[in-house]
Amino acid sequence: MEAALLILILGVNLTLWTVIGGVRFTAERLAGRADRRPPTETGLSPSDVAVLIPAHNEEPVIAATIDSALRLVAPGNVHVVADGCTDATATVARARGVNVLELTPGRGKAGGIEAAVEHFDIADRYTVLLIADADTRLDEHYLQRGLPILDQPGVVALAGYARAGWRPQELSLMGRYLVAYRTRLYAVMQWLKYGQTWHWTNVTAIVPGFASMYRTSVLKAMDLNPPGLVIEDFNMTFEIHHKRLGKIGFRPAVHATTQDPDNLPDYYRQVLRWHLGFWQTLRHHGLWRSGFCAALVLFVVEIFLASLGLVLLIVLLVIAGTAAAASQLWSAPEWVDTPVDLVASYSPLVSVVLFLALPDYLLTCLTAVAFRRPSLLLYGVGFLALRVVDATAMLVAIPMAWRVRSTGQWTSPTRRPVPAARPVAGQDAAPATRPGIGPGAGPSAGRAAGPAGEDRTAGTRVRGSRERP
């Protein structure tokens, strides 16, 4: 049982990809590679990048997200899709001088991305598409560090490194607990991704939609919005692998900050949506002969068995506790071997503490050291409970993926307002302060002109499924 408990926490995948990530790190250091190779004159520049921000009722956070994008590119390179918004999302975006496309009724995130790529002719007018969630704040070095990776031969996508926004003064105790857990979860997932995105492996299952980049040359080959899927990022990643479009790059230095749920209902709904999207995508694409699918099968088998084992273990502990309490209230004759006695006779509590809780807490300790955040040591005592929540959502999502046809429309978790980085009235985008970063002088800079020469900076409203202005 002890070995099974260790597998529940550490897992084959975490061990395997952490080792491969270590080999990658060593190999690249020995080869003299650096994380921050500056772009060359013939490489990609910010003027080649279109930033696309799908948004559904994101008024509290959209301004900060746009401002973070305006540190990287000109207003004409930023495109906001107000997907079925009933708040001031579109108004806030227009006030910052960026392109706005309003979709009424909403089409969901994948549908919004597909509509914006077509409406703004992104695939023909730009070389790179950066998709950012409306609650994402892009690091000021995102393009400086990310474009050289995307400019490497064969790389068609770059997965951003997710960081949980930590503003404890704005969070309740439950909120701090949830965001602290996400901090550790993101750290562990990046350890896996680092090994999975080495040029010798290239098997990562997710280019996260919160902040990632794609070569626009592959967009036309991808089905961006297949019917029935609740989220888009798993599908876009599977499309790259299934159609052999190229490799996926990743470096921890290319990061952005996201806002995570601060209450348990929102947290569970988001986790359920993520798992549902994964299983729906797996159902849609199926399996094919490839290294990617071999790694995928290993991941699917482990996550299913680990989730099932964790949930069953909790059920067993509850039954054992109930049985022990019942045995104190009712005493059967000594010769009667009741089910209650059978369950109460074995208490796995010691094994659970030694081989489940302690290894789980060790992951928290490593993350706390890596991020220099001692508070994680306090919140980490309860992280195992959230792993049970995650496992439950994963199991619930499996049957849903085969009987639920999703429209892609979504409701974001309750957003915490983020202060704008600059005043609105009469202020342009922040100028470039470093070589290779800034608006640029190409056709993508400044106002974004459509094929007919119309000014799209002020924004466009589209009603119905395919209406164009």
Q: How far apart are CA 136 and CA 211, in angstroms?
A: 7
- For the stretch 91-120, pLDDT in tens is 999 999 999 999 998 999 999 999 999 999
What tokens were used for 278? 């994964």
pTM value is 0.83
pLDDT of 43 reads 84
Predicted confidence band of residue 326 (pLDDT cuts 50, 70, 90): low
How high is the mean pLDDT of the chain?
83
Which comes out higher in pLDDT, residue 221 or 31?
221
Residue 6 has pLDDT above 50, yes or no: no
Predicted confidence band of residue 360 (pLDDT cuts 50, 70, 90): confident
- For the stretch 271-282, pLDDT in tens is 999 999 999 999
Predicted confidence band of residue 322 (pLDDT cuts 50, 70, 90): confident
- For the stretch 237-278, pLDDT in tens is 999 999 999 999 999 999 999 999 999 999 999 999 999 999
Residue 335 has pLDDT above 50, yes or no: no
Work out the end-to-end distance of the chain between its first and last CA atoms, rounded to an integer number of angstroms: 64
Residue 434 has pLDDT above 50, yes or no: no
Q: Residue 468 in 3-state DSSP?
A: coil
Q: Where are the alpha helices (DSSP H) in 31-167?
A: 62-70, 89-95, 108-119, 122-125, 142-150
Predicted confidence band of residue 348 (pLDDT cuts 50, 70, 90): low
Backbone angles phi, psi at 104, to 5 degrees: -135, 115
Number of Cβ within a 10 Å radius of residue 431:
9
What domains appear along the chain, each with residue ranges and CATH number? 35-261+410-463 (3.90.550.10)
- For the stretch 162-189, pLDDT in tens is 999 988 998 999 999 999 999 999 998 8
